[in-house]
Structure 1
Amino acid sequence: MGILDIEVWGKDSRKHEERLGTCKVDIAALPLKQANCLELPLESCLGALLMLITLTPCAGVSVSDLCVCPLADPSERKQIAQRYCLQNSLKDMKDVGILQVKVLKAVDLLAADFSGKSDPFCLLELGNDRLQTHTIYKNLNPEWNKVFTFPIKDIHDVLEVTVFDEDGDKPPDFLGKVAIPLLSIRDGRPNCYILKNKDLEQAFKGAIYLEMDLIYNPVKASIRTFTPREKRFVEDSRKLSKKILSRDVDRVKRITMAMWNTIQFLKSCFQWESTLRSAVAFVHHKRELMCVRCTLLSDDAGPSL
């Protein structure tokens, strides 16, 4: 355990975000399995953050390279399998199992930068656990080759894997997403998943290669089915994307040009740049005026008896 960095952000009615301050917490100095109420002064601004932190040891959470894959070691795999065997079904009921995810690579990603490249990284979410890969710069076919392990608390959870484009201090751009129910995982088989949009309704651009292993205790998993699901504390917020901004700018340009061309056309009609065009416009304008005059006269006459 090390230092926990915390950032406090504010958002106004126009969804403009601003960082208000930062603070740090030395996790190693806090006692385990006990509620710690902390008042943390914010750096670079006035105010403090009041937090309640409880540290609970959680087995299985790790990030490593392929060369040190935990379940690749037969002795370690046997030890983990023993922990979740039927004989241990009544021990630590919240520890249902373990999930190992190998994030191998992605191919044919969307180019998010104006240079035709992207700076992709991958975010993995399972319940309230979030882990991510490093960023590979200027690449549409990144190879991460990282291994992530998650503790399983509910066998009905869904693993969400999202690819983003790093954008410096700005919010990252969305490059695609997949959602994989734990019960659909087939152990040790590399799979290619087509990336989808944020709503997971349509195919996006590119694909991602994952290899997953799932070890769990069926008795604990069945019992957890009848307990309330863990509340999600991390909520997604839709960020402004450079691609969306670029698309909207192009749309505004097209609308502006169409309006400008229409104004110029109407202006030319009454400046006799084209005799035929101006004559048609004059007759049409005179006809509209006569219709308006007839309407006004009929209104002034009032209802007849």
Structure 2
Amino acid sequence: MYQLDIILKRGNNLAIRDRTGTSDPYVKFKLAGKEVFRSKTIHKNLNPVWEERLSLLVDTLKEPLYVKVFDYDFGLQDDFMGSSYLHLESLEHLRALDVTLDLKDPQYPDHDLGTLDLEVTLTPKEGDLKESLWRSFNSLKDVGVVQVKVIRAEGLMAADVTGKSDPFCVVQLSNDRLQTHTVYKNLNPDWNKVFVFNVKDIHSVLEVTVYDEDRDRSADFLGKVAIPLLNIQNGERKSYALKSKELTGPTKGVIFLEIDVIFNAVKAGLRTLNPLEQKYIEDEPRVSKQLLQQNFNRVRRCVMFLINAGCYINSCFEWESTQRSVCAFVLFVVVVWNFELYMIPLALLLPLAWNYVLIASGRDNRQDVQAMEDLLEDEDEDYDKDDKVDVVLAQTLSKT
């Protein structure tokens, strides 16, 4: 037994069937001679967008899925616009696949009648998963498998100034981490992605995190759920309220998941005696005030050097010192007379050389060292304050 999930996305360059130069297309799906789904009608459009979903239980993969497109005519027989079929045996299991079907007319096979874009996911039911489970036991470190279907989310937080978000979902089990695609400008995204992880410890916790994609900077956090594998009910499609990063309180939105866990109880019990697997995927570090101040001091020294050099050159033009202006004039003539292109990068090295002289002499480092010590003290105080705030927040939430 298999579950076939299909998303009918769109049609491209469909055939014209109306006198107005357009069509009113809809799609029918047939399996084993029976109609299993009919889409809505998109009026007066040759590039319709449906974004409709259907789920089927399939006993055998030998029967192909037939897809037919018709033009709706009110009160008349609907016009045929093309057909195609999908061989289920060729589909990869447990993975969402983007499929493009070429529409043809059996009477005129050389005519191009457009294409349909689908997303297809073929999922074995529990009996077939058990077969995959036993095959996975070839690895002695694995105690089972977990299949996670990320369906959709609703009511997410608006992270953009437009009042929308560009959400994607990250599914993580110990050190295994997989990610869905991004749904742009949407607070109720549909992902319909299926992921499979090998389970090394049945006491592990499955973490599902929703982020907002930002092209110019790191992704914004929208919400997170943590689900112990032992608390999962197989085959149950369930909604989970999103929580904060520390899982101490709720945030906006819910996510819909369907999870199946199959494991060998004997191997899982033996694995319990071993220590937990060390987690190598760490959270993003906080911004270091020390590094920020250090970079600021470097930029400041370069800028001050350029300002001082500009003031010195300007004083030569204003003849504040006759001797200095005459020397500058002679130097200018010599440089112009002997100028070569390679001298430009050499001149740019002067600020770096000046910084090196200051650091080597220790004249500029003393103030920076004192500033760094003060900043480190301030940073420790800030971290202590953050920890106290987290403790107070946790206590408040536990009381409520």
Q: Shorter-chain TM-score: which interval?
A: 0.5 to 0.7
Give 1 or 2 for the bigger CA radius of gyration: 2
> For 1:122-161, what aligned pairs fall within 5 Å after superposition?
122-161=169-208
- For residues 223 and 130 of structure 2, the distance between their equivalents in structure 1, rounded to whole angstroms, comes to 35
- 8 A contact 2:148–2:196 mirrored in 1: yes
| TM superposition shift of 1:238 | 5.4
* Structure 2 unmatched runs, 5+: 1-92, 98-118, 288-400
Letter in 2 for 1:219: V
- Do the aligned partners of residues 188 and 161 (structure 1) sit closer, same or farther apart at CA in structure 2, a change above 3 Å counting? same
| Runs of 4+ in structure 1 over 4 Å off | 81-84
Q: Take 2:130 and 2:281, find their aligned partners in 1: how far apart are those partners?
A: 34
Distance 2:122 2:285 in 1: 34
- How do residues 181-220 of structure 1 correspond to structure 2 at under 5 angstroms? 181-220=228-267
Partner of 1:11: none
Picking from 227, 231, 245, the partner of 1:180 is: 227
Contact residue 192 and residue 208 of structure 1 kept, 8 A: yes
Q: Distance in 1 between matches of 2:286 and 2:191?
A: 25
Q: Which amino acid aligns with 2:183?
A: I
Structure 2 vs 1, CA of residues 225 and 128 (structure 1 numbering), >3 Å: closer, same or farther? Answer: same
Residue 109 (1) aligns with residue 141 (2) = no
Report the secondary structure of 2:218's partner residue.
strand
Does the CA contact (< 8 Å) of 2:166 and 2:183 recur in 1? yes
Q: Which residue of 2 aligns with 1:224?
A: 271
Counterpart CA distance in 1 for 2:133 and 2:175 is 24
CA offsets 1:247-275 (integer angstroms, 9 cap, x no match): xxxxxxxxxxxxxxxxxxxxxxxxxxxxx
The residue type equivalent to 2:154 in the other structure is V
- Overall identity of the aligned pairs, in %: 53
Take 2:267 and 2:164, find their aligned partners in 1: how far apart are those partners?
46
Q: What's 1:285 paired with?
A: none
Q: In the alignment, does 2:167 pair up with 1:120?
A: yes
Matched, 1:234 2:286: no
State the Cα deviation string for residues 140-197 of structure 1 (Å, max 9, x = none).
0000000000000000000000000000031000000000000000000000000000
Given that 2:94 and 2:122 are in contact with CA atoms closer than 8 Å, whether structure 1 keeps it comes out as no
User: Which residue of structure 1 lines up, in the alignment, with residue 132 of structure 2?
Assistant: 80
CA 97–73 in structure 1, closer or farther in 2 if over 3 Å, else same:
closer
Deviation for aligned residue 1:68? 3.0
User: TM-score with structure 1 length normalisation?
Assistant: 0.53
* Cα root mean square deviation, aligned: 2.3
| Residue identity in the other structure for 2:255 | I
Unpaired segments ≥5 residues, structure 1: 1-60, 241-305
Q: CA deviation at 1:229?
A: 1.5
TM-score for the superposition, normalised by structure 2: 0.41
Question: SS at the partner of 2:209?
Answer: strand
What's the counterpart of residue 87 of structure 2? none
Residues paired across the two proteins, number: 174
Preserved contact between residue 155 and residue 221 of structure 1 (Cα < 8 Å): yes
